[in-house]
Amino acid sequence: MTPAVSAARKAGIAYTLHEYRHDPATASYGLEAAEALGLAPARVFKTLVAAPEGKGLWVVVVPVDRLLDLKALAAVGGAKRAEMADARAAERATGYVVGGISPLGQRRRLPTVVDTSAAGHATIFVSAGRRGLEIELAPADLVRLCEATLAPVARPA
């Protein structure tokens, strides 16, 4: 059991785990999950770590077939600009490895933004804390558990 699954279980929310065989040579962890599970990429969300200027690290959850709009994130954070965190900083802050970073059960709670497109689905899929494991849950439960803000922070790839 990962910390993400423990967090969902402890919160008493409805969730389903989905496991698939992860290919270490894959270029896109999120698209790999969508394809392996036979899902529309718009329902599978990747967890990114970014830094709005002067605001520390933030967690951002966007669909795997879209990109993070750094200008939109900066605006949400009240900053002039934002940049992606380096992988090592993201791993240290969250306690997860890249490709398995979950918005749930992180080492320390970081400000979290979930793209508004999540609200258009009954359930979405996010990493359950390791490569090859996704957790399906209601977007409202994810937002509540992460104390997240819903904002339009994704842009076309």
Q: How confident is the model over 21-32, as a mean pLDDT?
A: 93
Q: Identify the pLDDT of residue 112.
A: 98
Q: Which residues pair with 47 in a beta bridge?
A: 61
- Identity of the residue numbered 3: P
Instruction: Encode pLDDT of 80-99 as tens digits.
Output: 999 999 999 999 999 999 99
Q: How confident is the model over 10-15, as a mean pLDDT?
A: 98
Q: Identify the pLDDT of residue 9.
A: 98
Alpha-carbon distance 73 to 25, whole Å? 30
Task: Return the CATH number at 121.
Answer: 3.90.960.10
Whether pLDDT at 151 is above 90 = yes
pTM here is 0.96
First to last CA, the chain: 33
Q: How confident is the model over 10-32, as a mean pLDDT?
A: 95
Whether pLDDT at 27 is above 90 = no
Alpha helices in 22-124 (DSSP H): 29-37, 70-76, 87-94
Give the chain's domain count: 1
Owning domain of residue 117: 3-156
Instruction: Encode pLDDT of 114-130 as tens digits.
Output: 999 999 999 999 999 99
Alpha helices in 54-110 (DSSP H): 70-76, 87-94
Q: Identify the pLDDT of residue 46.
A: 98
Q: In terms of pLDDT, which residue wins out, 118 or 108?
A: 118
Neighbour-count burial for 75-87, b at 16+ CB within 10 Å, e otherwise = bbbebeebeebee
What is the CB neighbour count within 10 angstroms for residue 88?
Answer: 9
